[in-house]
Amino acid sequence: MNQLPNPGHFAPDGDHRAATDWMSILAQYRNPHHGWSTLEIVWTVIPFTLFWLSAWYSFTVSPILAVALCVPAAFFLVRIFAIQHDCGHGAFFRHKSLNDWVGRCLGVLTLTPYDVWRQAHILHHAGSGNLDKRGIGDIKTLTINEYEARGAWGKLLYRTYRHPIVMFIVGPTYIFLLDNRLPFNFFKSGAKYWVSAMGTNLGILGIASLLIYAMGPAAFFTIFLSTTAIAAAIGVWLFYIQHQFEETVWEDADEWKLHEAALYGSSHYDLPPLFRWLTANIGIHHVHHLYSKIPFYRLKSVLNDNPQLAEIRRLTFLDSLRCMNLQLWDENNRKLVSFSQAKAA
């Protein structure tokens, strides 16, 4: 095989294939299978419902047991979000309207207005790794120079925002319970986003009212809040690891390249098989960012058929734990660093 052009500082040592050269290869995996997609919904929504019912049944015996059953329910809720995510990319079904309406319905379960989230996520994909396009659909990341230019109050706010308790516990719950209720980033962008947010809110209110009537408020709020908080924390953790690792990519607009930033600025979070399945292969994020039309159930096949992709930006679970201490982008050394490393530099 002919050696392809070296993608420069984006690529890890020994990788000589430019990101754009993968596009024609990945296109072979893009077409969804309607039957398979339908099965993915069935064996995700049904277990989620069964764990919810089991938690409800257990609540009268032991609220602690009920909360424990919320953990697997939360993982299946994350999987429901992954299906909604693929619908937003037009990757789950061949027809746009089917993707959109399935996504909107699932958005009631994930507490996420589909059309609002979809637009923010499109902006995330279009500008991921671009220092001049931060602010919507991403995790706030400052360069060392930007952080040092802030006053004491500004530094304290950023440190608070990046603290693990806020990032993975307080923040996720706030996002899904409160922030998603209004289209904050699209207040003046048209009625579509208000209809999406308010329609989702009405759907949530309707289902919640029926469940409160059937279950009683104590059981409902215990199970609902526990499942939501756990799923939100898992989801934000996954999103964080997808782009917040040491060798990620951040560039000024004049240096930024869409495909290189997608492939080399996103991680391959190599999880154990069970958790890879429960999170719908979202850890194979570098491939997803490079070619977002591939349905999640085909991403594993991409790596099996193209093993060199599996080694690009690969992170194990232990590797990912160290990423919690990375908070600032070092423009000189081209990597994410901790506050202490930035101070030493």
- Does 40 fall in a domain? yes
Q: Could you give the CA distance from residue 96 to residue 87 in angstroms, rounded to a whole number?
A: 8
Return the pLDDT at 18.
82
How far is the CA of 43 from the CAs of 38, 99, 111, in angstroms? 9, 18, 20
- Does 336 fall in a domain? no
Give tens-digit pLDDT for 208-260: 999 999 999 999 999 999 999 999 999 999 999 999 999 999 999 999 999 99
Give tens-digit pLDDT for 78-110: 999 999 999 999 999 999 999 999 999 999 999
Kind plus residue range of the DSSP H or E element containing 329: strand 328-330
With CA atoms as reference, report the closest residue to 128 among 31, 267, 294.
267
Q: Could you give the CA distance from residue 73 to residue 309 in angstroms, rounded to a whole number?
A: 32
- Does 169 fall in a domain? yes
Q: Could you give the CA distance from residue 211 to residue 121 in angstroms, rounded to a whole number?
A: 31
| pTM of the entire predicted model | 0.92
Q: Could you give the CA distance from residue 49 to residue 83 in angstroms, rounded to a whole number?
A: 16
**Exposed, middle or buried by CB within 10 Å (0-12, 13-18, 19+), for 344?**
exposed
With CA atoms as reference, report the closest residue to 290 among 249, 244, 246, 232.
249
Instruction: Retrieve residue 304's tokens.
Output: 């099996």
- Does 146 fall in a domain? no
- Does 234 fall in a domain? yes
How far is the CA of 271 from the CAs of 47, 86, 109, in angstroms? 21, 20, 25
Q: Could you give the CA distance from residue 308 to residue 243 in angstroms, rounded to a whole number?
A: 20
- Does 3 fall in a domain? no
Q: Could you give the CA distance from residue 128 to residue 219 in angstroms, rounded to a whole number?
A: 41
- Does 264 fall in a domain? yes
Q: Could you give the CA distance from residue 109 to residue 206 in angstroms, rounded to a whole number?
A: 12
**Exposed, middle or buried by CB within 10 Å (0-12, 13-18, 19+), for 133?**
middle
Residue 135 pLDDT > 90: no
Q: What are phi and psi of 163, to 5 degrees?
A: -70, 140
Q: Could you give the CA distance from residue 288 to residue 265 in angstroms, rounded to a whole number?
A: 12
- Which residue is associated with the tokens 């500008």? 127
pLDDT band at 2 (very low <50, low <70, confident <90, very high): very low
Total domains in the chain come to: 1
Q: Could you give the CA distance from residue 182 to residue 241 in angstroms, rounded to a whole number?
A: 26
Q: Which domain holds residue 252?
A: 8-133+165-326
Return the pLDDT at 84.
98
Pairing relationship of beta strands 335-337 and 328-330 according to DSSP bridges: antiparallel
- Does 335 fall in a domain? no
Residues 306-334 have a mean pLDDT of: 94
Return the pLDDT at 14.
45
